[in-house]
Structure 1
Amino acid sequence: MRAYRLLACFLIVTALCPPLSAVPAAAQTPVDLELVLAVDVSGSVDPDEAKLQRNGYVQALLNPRVQAAIRGGPFGRVAATYMEWAGEGHQHVVVPWTELSDPASIERFAAVVAEAPMMTEQWTSISAAIDRAVPLFDTNGFEGTRRVIDLSGDGENNRGRPVEEARDAAVARGITINGLPILNDRPNPWGGAAPNDLEGYYRDHVIGGPGAFLVPARNFDAFADAILSKLLLEVSGVMPDGRTARDLVAR
């Protein structure tokens, strides 16, 4: 008799409890854009240049036009994370995924970027940076109408798998990669020659996906203007004519 009671209880509980597959997943916050800011801190970027890059992102985020663009989308918010990268083994998430929707949230994000310790490593693995950025979208708690990796750097891929393979894998998942090549004619600290045509390299081998474009910076001093233009285009969803955006955002 006791066995029959236990079986009856089991059948009742089974009927009342839905299978795990039927339990709804946790709701994700809708945003206009999921954005990975992926910034080169390889050995060819000296401490002053690394600081110029950081300051460029901070100033762009604090710019009223960028903040207005963030609030101007259908949802009025974007999700962003800030990652610095170098060789195959160095991809450091400086600021985790954060909802940016009002001046206070944007300023907090910018402050963490500005105040985080600076780290650099040798080599330049654009492919490893892309491969690290892609899974960041999977469990970030946001659902964007667009997914973008904003990748800036001053050199070509010299470690890891071919960058085209990483790019194509990201694009196959619906992710767009935009580029900000920092054009630089000085040799790297180990005597290697500077890239002959970094803008062309980024255009042909790095960027990809719907609406992909690049905004070249003439040098590190011009980085702040370039990232401002690039963020305005990315946040607003504007697709420039062609694959290179030059002076499309009037200051």
Structure 2
Amino acid sequence: MRRRTALLGSLAALASPLPARADTPVDLELVLAVDVSRSIDEIEADLQRRGYVEALTDERIITAILSGENKCIALSYVEWAGTQYQSVVIDWTVIDSAPAARRIADRLAEAPRTSQSWTAIGAALAFAGSHFDRSGTQSRRRVIDISGDGRTNEGPPAELVRDMLVAQGIVINGLPVMMNRSNFGRPPDFELDKYYEQNVIGGPGAFIIPAANFNDFGRAVRSKLVREISQRPSRRMPA
């Protein structure tokens, strides 16, 4: 009951504008929101985690970070499953150099992994949206990068929360994994990319980069991070 109350509180907070802040300036505030539902087995979870670890130290991504006006971004890594599970694995950290990126990658590689029931994309987005208010930084660009291998089957509709976040100037990009080996006997969802496009992503310049499967995940996440870090603020986003 307390978790449900907290979720409703997060949704209510999203309906109101976030307060202005005067914190450390960065070029991007980025939440990596990563699905850890039980449809993802240990091998796939390892490929997923490794994809992010390797991406964070990829030379192209470091170059993109250092090419911005402030030459730094703020990043947080969050894992999610059902409405009752959102966990901050890496809290807000500023990346302003290759060594800083390596430190985050090392922490992520060593962090324990878990697996939980259900897929609550709406609840994950609500949590990520409220998480920006604790970043300690300020940017014209706030982006949620959400990855997953299935559609919402619990909690608030993803599109409802998406619309609330977009109204605040938050951009949501998606990385749908089109097929895995442990989908409880269900056929692959070959239209998961369309679901993400219609119900999950939103905001100026929002996009998806699908991964064909978890073996393809590392390639997809590197391409996605380079693109979203390199994007420049839209005039439609709040200053």
Structure-1-length-normalised TM-score: 0.82
**What letter matches 1:142 in structure 2?**
T
The answer to whether the Cα contact below 8 Å between 1:182 and 1:219 also exists between their aligned partners in 2 is: yes
Report whether the alignment pairs 1:234 with 2:228.
Answer: yes
Measured after TM superposition, the shift of residue 63 of structure 1 is 0.7
In 1, Cα distance between the equivalents of 2:190 and 2:137? 39
In 2, Cα distance between the equivalents of 1:106 and 1:32? 15
Identical columns (%): 50
Report whether the alignment pairs 1:218 with 2:212.
Answer: yes
**What letter matches 2:92 in structure 1?**
W
1:119-175 superposed Cα distances (whole Å, 9 cap, x missing partner): 110110000100100111112111012000000000000000111101111111110
**What letter matches 2:209 in structure 1?**
V
The residue correspondences of 1:82-93 to structure 2 (distance < 5 A) are 82-93=77-88
In 2, Cα distance between the equivalents of 1:57 and 1:186? 20
The answer to whether the Cα contact below 8 Å between 1:186 and 1:193 also exists between their aligned partners in 2 is: no
The answer to whether the Cα contact below 8 Å between 1:78 and 1:101 also exists between their aligned partners in 2 is: yes
The residue correspondences of 1:17-96 to structure 2 (distance < 5 A) are 27-96=22-91
Larger radius of gyration: 1
Report whether the alignment pairs 1:109 with 2:115.
Answer: no
In 1, Cα distance between the equivalents of 2:155 and 2:65? 35
Match of 2:3 in 1: none
1:187-237 superposed Cα distances (whole Å, 9 cap, x missing partner): 622x34432410111011100011100000000000000000000001101
Flag as ranges the 4+ runs of structure 1 deviating above 4 A. none
In 2, Cα distance between the equivalents of 1:237 and 1:138? 22
Q: Cα RMSD (Å) of the superposition?
A: 1.6
Partner residue of 1:100 out of 91, 95, 109? 95
Match of 2:188 in 1: 194
In 2, Cα distance between the equivalents of 1:26 and 1:192? 46
Gaps of 5+ in 2: 1-19, 234-239
Report whether the alignment pairs 1:173 with 2:185.
Answer: no
Match of 1:118 in 2: 113
The residue correspondences of 1:124-139 to structure 2 (distance < 5 A) are 124-139=119-134
Match of 2:7 in 1: none
In 1, Cα distance between the equivalents of 2:70 and 2:222? 22
**What letter matches 2:223 in structure 1?**
S
In 1, Cα distance between the equivalents of 2:142 and 2:31? 8
Residue-pair matches, total:
214
Note closer, same or farther for the CA distance 1:51–1:187 as it changes in structure 2 (3 Å cut). Answer: closer
Measured after TM superposition, the shift of residue 27 of structure 1 is 3.9
In 1, Cα distance between the equivalents of 2:94 and 2:88? 16
